[in-house]
Structure 1
Amino acid sequence: MRIVCLDLEGVLVPEIWIEFAERTGIPELRRTTRDEPNYDKLMKYRLDLLRQHQLGLPDIQNVIASMGPMPGARAFLDKLREDYQVIILSDTFYEFAHPLMRQLAWPTLFCHSLEAGADGMLTGYRLRMPQQKREAVVRLREMNFTVVAAGDSYNDTAMLGVAHAGILFHPPENVVREFPQYPVTENYDALRAEIDKAFARI
């Protein structure tokens, strides 16, 4: 059986934190792991900001729902699922992704979880497991699935490396330079063609 593993942000939907920062007018929320490599410290910083601005989970979900998937993402995903099983592997949170998953017809998503109080304010987060993208692909291969993976950034390269074939989708130039072994695609038609080619040669 053939499985395609896709990253979510930057592949099917916009970068959630950056888009959320734009829509709420809170530029500090644009801070990413490029600015703060310690993920726990970064998430506590983000949660503190949300509390300061009195933004609870329902407020955040409403903003995220207004983002929508990237143009063409739904059609690409629908067509891909006709021929392959598809699993989305993301470092986002179920509670953030939920409104966008509805717009993508509820594909299978593996990601992390947020914790919220009765008032809807976020109190913490739970990682499903460390390196969950890479580990998911490793386990799928152990179950004799053939896996092609696609993503756009550094945090996807570990899963690309353990898949039978890895593909970059609209990556930044520094990722292209550092990982020249992966074919680069810039639109959904090219990504689909590269997925088909990868399965044909495996």
Structure 2
Amino acid sequence: MGATTQPVPWSRGALVALAATALTLVGALLVHLAFVFLSVAPANALSVKHRDAVDAYVQPEFGQDWKLFAPNPMQRNDAVGVRVNTLGPDGLYHVSEWINLTARDIEAVRGNPAPSHTDQNMLRRAWDAYVATHSLRDDRPKGARGRLTRDYLERVVLQRTGRTWEGARIVSVQVAGRFTMVDPPAWSSEPASDTTDYRLLPWWTVTEQDHRNL
């Protein structure tokens, strides 16, 4: 009869490495849960003291809300666009026409049985976060989240435009939004809105750092 194969025992070093990895993962999970909990918990001494650190970690990737359980349908048609300022090989600057980024996202979603979160929500939520944290009059950030939401919106836009436009390097971008309320249903007595709101943001300089990890 053939010899029975015996399982190779784990070495002490391998067991120590495995235990260390498990402890690291558990610790990282606990830290993540603690930060997310502090971000949604009522204000307390700990969350107030570490608010900047909590916001820097949670926003915008891990933002929490209750709309998953009580969805609130959109009541307006949004369109976020960008125009880019490029520097060509001849040393001349050129400003592009407006590029409707929302229209691109809608085109990617239409007819897709499993549209991605990126196409459905990323641009809209980035814009909403920026608007909520910047003053309308002079676009100054309101609170610690202002700089984060500005950088996030810029990076979302740069993901869609890339580093170059029509063969020239992008050196700055300008983002704008157009919003029109959805008409109420026929059976409603609510009057339809006949106005469209616009918001034009300042030009933002684009550096190599802005393209990191995009």
Shorter-chain TM-score range: under 0.3
- The alignment's TM-score, normalised by the length of structure 1, stands at 0.23
Between Structure 1 and Structure 2, whose CA radius of gyration is higher? Answer: 2
Q: Which has the higher contact order (CA 8 A, sep 6+)?
A: 1
Higher normalized helix content (fraction of residues): 1
